[in-house]
Amino acid sequence: MQEGMLVQKPGTRRYSLGPQLFELGISATHQFNLKDICQPVCAALAEQTGDTSFLFLRSGFDAVCIARIQGAYPIQTPSVPVGSRQPLGVSAGGLALLSALPQPDMEAVFAAVEPRLAAYGNLDAEKLKDLCMMAKRLGYATTGNHAVPGVRAIGLPIFDRSNTPIAAITVAATQSRMDARRIATLLPMLKAAALEMTRLLHQ
């Protein structure tokens, strides 16, 4: 339990598999190297948009940044380092993953991450639920000032063969650059990248 391999169900003597086993499975499956498969698409997205693109992997109740590619625009937002992890819902990638989960799984995440949310711009479970509802309504996730102050990002989930959201791709820019018009311009590129990554993973 201390290493995250198992999770004890509250009030019982029952256990379930923990988030670290998920990461071990990803690491052990050599033919399914998500970063190697998806990074070229991530790089192409950064070149297209001029902004910073990120690839996130779901790890239990967290989203882990596994790739970051900077574009050519003079002001970049590379402040989320590769290898960093944040609760699902904090970053645009984490929110894309969270909002794509079935409702019971979403509720389990809300309960699990709530104690950690105050460190991210006074975010709480209710605000996170509102962000998920907005993501479902818009068809994409968007966050600003939670993961990184002064930065806004948009994200979409990537699904495996069983239609489970396992990763997410995002584009980030400064708040002033990422306005509604800019989001409308970026969305077709982001959707094409997410579809291409999903296609590659299904081969």
Residues 91 and 184 both lie in one domain: yes
pTM of the model: 0.82
Token pair of 57, please?
């992997």
Residues 75 and 157 both lie in one domain: yes
pLDDT in tens, 126-174: 999 999 999 999 999 998 767 677 889 999 999 988 888 999 999 999 9
Domain that holds residue 188: 33-201
Q: What are phi and psi of 166, to 5 degrees?
A: -115, -20
Residues 9 and 66 both lie in one domain: no
Average pLDDT, the chain: 88
Residues 144 and 180 both lie in one domain: yes
- Residue 158 contacts by C-beta under 8 Å, 6 or more apart in sequence? 38, 165, 166, 167, 168, 169, 194, 197, 198, 201
Residues 1 and 86 both lie in one domain: no
71 within 8 A of 53, measured Cβ to Cβ: yes
Q: Which of 67, 84, 18 is nearest to 168 (CA)?
A: 67
- What's the whole-number mean pLDDT along residues 65-79? 86
Residues 118 and 185 both lie in one domain: yes
Residues 27 and 115 both lie in one domain: no
Q: How many CA atoms lie within 13 A of 116 on its CB side?
A: 14
Residues 125 and 154 both lie in one domain: yes
Residues 50 and 115 both lie in one domain: yes
Could you count the other beta carbons within 10 Å of the beta carbon of residue 168? 29
Instruction: Indicate if the alpha-carbon torsion angle 70, 71, 77, 80 is positive or negative.
Output: negative
Residues 95 and 178 both lie in one domain: yes
Residues 81 and 4 both lie in one domain: no
pLDDT in tens, 14-63: 888 777 776 666 544 434 578 888 889 999 999 999 999 999 999 889 99
Residues 47 and 22 both lie in one domain: no
**Count: domains in the chain:** 2
